[in-house]
Structure formats: C-alpha cells, structure tokens
Chains A and B, each alone.
Chain A
Amino acid sequence: MSESVTEPYSQPEPPEPVLAAAAERGADWALIPPDVAAEPPSELRYRPVMHLAGSIGALVRSRAIVRSLTFRDLRSTYSQEVLGIAWALLGPVTLMVVFTFLEGRLGGGIDTQGVWYPVFAYVGILPWTFFANSVSGGGTSLVGNPLLNKVYAPREVFPIAKILSATVTLLCATVALAILFIIDGRLPSVTSYWVVPLLAILLVFAFGITLLISGLTVYLRDMRHAIPLLLQLGLFLTPIIYGMDEIDEPWQNVYVAVNPVAGVIDGMRRCLLYNQAPNLVFTAIAATAALVWALGAFLVFKRLETGFADVS
C-alpha cells in the first residue's frame, strides 16, 4: 500500500458545548479533545510482526474453523444438486473423453509408451483438476466474503478450506481412474507408493499459488477474470494431453521449475503406469519450486493480510 502524505485535518473539531459545560462543572468524564494531531506520530505506526512459527501455530489452533468451512463448502456445493458429488467425477471424465476423441482424430500422434490413451490422459487430468479447483475456488475465497470481517481466524483459513474441498473432490474423481484401470485390465504398478510424495508436492504448490492469488485478488479484482483464463492456458501448457517427451530435453528442467505440476504429472505417470520411480531430478526440482512458492506466498499473504478487512 502506498504511503501518501496526509494533509492536516482540514476542520479543527469544535468543542462540544455540552462537554465544555460539564467539564466546567468539574466532570472528569467529559474529555474535550482540543489538540488531536492531524496524523498519528510515526513511532506509533502499527507494524505487523512476521513470525512464521507463530503464524503456523495460530493456523493449527484454527483447525476447527478450517474443517467447518470445508464441510460447509462441500455441503452447500453438492447437497442441493441432483447429481451431487458425481459432478466431481463428470468434469475430469468429460475432459478425458474429449482429449481421447481429439487424440484419435489426430491419428494417435502422441507417444504414450504403449499405455491406453484414456488412462494416460486421466492420470494427467486428475492432478491438474485439483490444482485448477484449488486456485479458482481459493483465489476468490476472500474477496467479497462476508465472513472475512466476522470470523476471527488467520485469513488463510478461507483459501485453505477451498484447497481441502478440492482435495475431497480429487479423491472422488479418483474413482474414475480405478474404473479405467479395470476396463484396461491393468494393475497399479508396484512403484505406486510414489504417489504420496508427489501428491504432497502438488498440495504444497497449490497452497502457494492459491494463497498468493487469493491475497492479490482482494486488491486487484481483475484477477477474478484472469484466473479462468490462466488456468485454461495452463491446461494446455502442462503435459496433460501430451507427455513430457514433447518438450525439448534441455528445457525440461526449467519447465518443471516454472510449472511443478508438470513434474508431478510426469512422476505420476511413471509410477502408476510405467512401473518406474519418478525422475528424481524433476521431482527434486518440483519439490523445491513448490516449497519456494508456498513460503513466498505465505509471507506475501501475511504482509497483505492486515488490509483485507479494510478493502473487502
């Protein structure tokens, strides 16, 4: 926020005659503020103290609020609809069908290394859908939220609740993956346990981006329109339709550093479909990038936080 120089308060307060009279009679409750400065002395300026451990502690203490917000979000999103939680499946499945159709029409130009294309695409679609749901839901979770200046809790509880409800949606959408595996007659690879660290990287990255965007959106409302656009771009710039091999070898590391979701998806394909461990370089880069984003975003968020209630 810019620090503009404030002009002296133009009209000096006229003393309240009622109070002047009371004070004359010796009433000590009547404060007559004759000389309140136009501006507070600068040494009084409130400076939020950045305290990472303290912030995390406060967040942990607010877990009941996070849980309630998540439940509230899921309940109100799905309970009133005929298809209910099935909508969580329909989005990614539709994408998968469209991609499969396109891939067929284009003559199977994408190298899936022998894996049935719907499975190949769906393993990419799942993490991306989670990421997109987090960012689009969480990104707008602060701006115009009536609870923002009603509920006393660290402000990150609102985006975090949206990330958690996106996580639940992700788990539901995984059902379709199981069905695809059965149709394909395929068993999960023995290396599947790698999914856990990969998901952790995804979660950390989604946390960072969602937090950052939610904070910025409070001040720059344009972001609300920019988010869907950016996510749509991301859908095609991330190896979902295609594999990592489509990217030139020397650029792959940079690519993963900029977009850790790419590293996660590549890792998931390797460990779920190809019976391999994820590429350790990619995974390490993605993990580092995700952590940097998350930490940076958290600090920026905490810096912006003091003004949220004033603006929103």
Chain B
Amino acid sequence: MSREGEVVVDQVWKRFRVDRGRQLLRDHAKRAHGKIRGTAGDNPWRWVLRDISFSVEPGEAVGVVGANGAGKSTLLKIVNGLMFPHSGRVQTHGKVGAIIEVMSGIHSELTGRENINIYGNLLGLSRKQVAARFDEIVAFAEIEDAIDRQVKFYSSGMKVRLGFSVAAFLEPSILIVDEVLAVGDQSFQQKCLDRMRQVIQGGTTLLLVSHDLASVGATANRAIWLRDGLMMADGPVDDVLGGYRRAIERRAEESADVQGLVRVVDVQSQSLDGRPVATSQDCRVRLELESDHERSVRLFLGVSEGAATPIFVVRHVTTIPEGRTTIEIELDHLPLPPRSYFLWFSAYDRDDKAELTAWQPIGPFIVSGNMRLPPVPRAIVRLSPVFVAARWSKVS
C-alpha cells in the first residue's frame, strides 16, 4: 500500500531564544564575557516542543488542541518543513499543503486575478493547475464581480475569502490547517468546514489546529493535546477533547476566587429531589451571595463548556440585602447532554447598569444521565451541544 499522506513525527524537540529583544554590540559582548567566565546567566533558550512523537495514517484527520503557546503552530510548521526541528525527525509522504495564515500571501496592489495566480503558485500549484481551478476558486470566494479589481479595494472579508479559497483548492495529500476558520461570516465558515470535510473524504490527511473545540470535534477523528510543549494526550477526538475541557474547567475552578462587589460564596446544584443533575430533568442551582450593602441588582447565570461563551444564560432582577443571601434558580428540563459544564456568573447594578461582578466561572456543573446526542448527518458541521427530547410518531 502506498504511504502517501503519512506523517511520522519522531522525538521532535524545538527551542527558541527567549529574548531577541536588544541586540546591541554591548549585549553581545556581555553575553560573550559571561560565557567565557562560565557564568552564562539566564538560560537563553526555551523549549517549545519536547519529545513529540506520533504518526498519522493516510486519511486520518487529527486535531491539535492546547492553550496559547503550547507549541501547536510550531509543530505544524515543522511538519510543513517551514521550520526545522532542533532534534528528532519528521517524515511526510506526499505533497503537503498548508493553510497557515491566509492574509500574508495576498498583495493588495495586485488584482484578484493576479493574486489567485501568484498565491496559487506560492502555495505550490503549477500555473496549469491554477488555471484549471480558477473558476472554482473565484466562485468559492464569491468575488466574481471584483476579480479584476485591485485587492486594496476589497473589503477585509473579501480578502480573507480570496486567500482561503486559493488554499482550499490545493488538493494535497496532507493538509495542514492552522486556526483559519475564525474568518469570514458564518456562511463562509460553514462553507470552509464543508470543503475541508470534502477534502478529507477524498483521502487527504488533515492536521488541524483550532481553539474552536466544536469544529475540531466535528472535523477530526483523533486529537492530540499539547501543554507547554509536551504531549498530554493522543487518542479518539471525543476522549481527548473531553479531557482537555475538564482540565480547562479544573483550572478555572482553581482560580475561581470570585471577585467583585457581589461575591459568590458557595455554589451547589442538584435536581429538585436532591439527586445529581440529569439531562432533561428539572434542576436547582443554589448560590450563596455576599454583598457589602443592600443593592438592587441584575444577576446573570450561564452554563458553558469550558469557554467564556455560554450555552445559555438566565437573568433575574432582584434586591439583595447587606451580608449573605441564598438564591435558588430552578431550571426546567435541562437541555444538556451528560458532560461536565461550568457555571458562570455576573452581577450588574439595576439602575445605572454598572458592573458589580465581572462575568466569570464560579464552579462546575456536572450533568449525568445516559442520554446521548444522536449521531448527525455528515453535512452538519457544528452541532450545538443541546439535548432536546423528541417523540416521533407516524400519523397516517
């Protein structure tokens, strides 16, 4: 069997200089002097990748997740051959195409047509290949009317669409995508994800870096989790993303020292009959608040999956006295599949709308039960994580 599309990363290490700030002769002299005397001073190197090994089979779609600075982009650049590892070895079989950051290849003095030709060449297509795909690229980018206009007169959305569309038609054996899905409007994002999925179905290996865990989950079938240059996990996408989300939440929990004028002293959640919170059941969240004096407030409570963007938010206007107050919120038919979530909270003054407590995580919210999200048709790329009980019946 041909190994086209295979990626082997074997014990790869990479380091960068911590500081390339000042490069005056004085600094170099000081450094050289320190080296001669054996007092090297601060360690100038920082390891950004440590002992990374994995291999990707042809046709696999692998998502790489991790916090900012975990080494994800560096890893992809090394796989792509743009950077060289310090130690270790990377092997790729077949043509590598990368969509790393789409804007820099687009030259604003040139027209859209010229840019497609040039950028296509820069990404590794021959002139003939660009010509063969030209119409498709233009249609995908939705810039038919503006194709002979200079790119500096494009809107920023058009520019991004232009860049992505060229890259989308590369047809490599290994496609590397680094955090480019946050571009364009919603419908274009959906189109890009569709296109990516189409490319994968054609047998292309995909390496994807994204902070949008939902799209990683929808696109990849395997995930690698990096933290501080180390591989924390490598396995089925749901397991790894689950672990990653829980780690984020745990960290948020550890730092959940709620600051503000209205403080959350304690959080508890359970179902109405005192059992653990479960999918499609009613539940109750109990907040113990502390205020410096009596206030008329607008309270917000949200549930999220490890990110600041909540799945839903409920709001209540009330008055709280000085000292401690216990507030109960009942949520009917909780539409969340079993998973760990996080509760977020904020408080505003009712009258002048001033922020009393900033939007912040206050504690975990664990939903149990055995309801699962149903498998979705492949055309759906992002499924909102909401569980809705449904009864189907044949009427005639």
Contact = CB atoms under 8 A, between A and B. Distances in A.
B110 A75 contact: yes
A64 B45 contact: no
Nearest to A29: B235
A279 interface: no
Interface residues of B, number: 60
A37 B51 contact: yes
B80 A29 contact: no
A150 B233 contact: no
A64 to B, nearest CB: 4
Interface string A24-57: 0001111101001101110011101000000000
A260 to B, nearest CB: 31
B82 A46 contact: no
Contacts, number: 145
B121 A65 contact: yes
Contacts of B85: 46
Given A33-B230, A40-B88, A309 B45 contact: no
Interface residues of A, number: 51
A45 B83 contact: no
Contacts of B239: 22, 27, 29
Contact of A18 (B83, B98, B100, B246): B246
A248 interface: no
A236 interface: no
A152 B16 contact: no
Interface stretch (B101-109, B206-214, B275-283, B368-376): B101-109
Given A4-B45, A30-B243, A152-B96, 15 more contacts: A13-B228, A29-B243, A31-B234, A40-B86, A44-B11, A44-B89, A68-B121, A72-B107, A75-B110, A75-B114, A147-B105, A149-B77, A149-B83, A309-B83, A310-B83
Nearest to B128: A64
B44 interface: yes
Interface in B226-264: 227-228, 230-236, 239-240, 243, 246-247, 250
A306 interface: yes
Contacts of A153: 122
Nearest to A80: B109
B95 to A, nearest CB: 10
A310 B51 contact: no
Nearest to B129: A64
B84 interface: yes
B232 A16 contact: yes
Contacts of B117: 68
B88 A33 contact: no
Contact of B80 (A31, A147, A152): A152
B88 A150 contact: no
Given A40-B86, A152-B82, A221 B107 contact: no
B28 to A, nearest CB: 10
Interface in B16-42: 16-17, 20, 23, 35, 40
A71 to B, nearest CB: 7
A152 B125 CA distance: 12
Please name the 7 residue pairs, one residue from A and one from B, whose CB atoms are nearest each other, closest first: A29-B235, A40-B87, A68-B121, A44-B87, A146-B104, A306-B84, A40-B13
A224 interface: no
Contacts of B141: none
B183 to A, nearest CB: 15
Nearest to B89: A46
B203 interface: no
Given A30-B243, A44-B88, A13 B230 contact: yes
A2 B236 CA distance: 41
B105 A150 contact: yes
A7 interface: yes
Contacts of B233: 19, 22, 29-31
A36 B51 contact: yes
A42 to B, nearest CB: 8
A44 B53 CA distance: 13
15 contacts: A18-B243, A28-B235, A30-B235, A30-B243, A33-B231, A40-B50, A46-B88, A48-B84, A65-B124, A75-B109, A149-B83, A150-B82, A150-B100, A152-B82, A307-B84
A22 B45 CA distance: 33
Given A29-B240, A37-B51, A149-B83, A309 B77 contact: yes
Nearest to B20: A311
A72 B239 CA distance: 47
B69 to A, nearest CB: 15
In this complex, the member of B40, B84, B89, B96 whose beta carbon has the largest number of chain A beta carbons within 10 angstroms is B84
Interface string B325-336: 000000000000
Nearest to B84: A306
A250 interface: no
B83 A19 contact: no
A76 interface: yes
A73 to B, nearest CB: 9
Given A4-B35, A40-B13, A45 B86 contact: yes
Contact of B118 (A28, A48, A72): A72
B243 A151 contact: no
Interface in A117-132: none
Contacts of B235: 27-30
A6 interface: yes
A71 B127 CA distance: 13
In this complex, the member of B50, B117, B125, B240 whose beta carbon has the largest number of chain A beta carbons within 10 angstroms is B50
A12 to B, nearest CB: 11
Contacts of B323: none
Given A29-B235, A71-B118, A79-B109, A6 B86 contact: no
A310 B124 contact: no
A31 B20 contact: no
Interface in A77-136: 79-80
A251 interface: no
A5 interface: yes
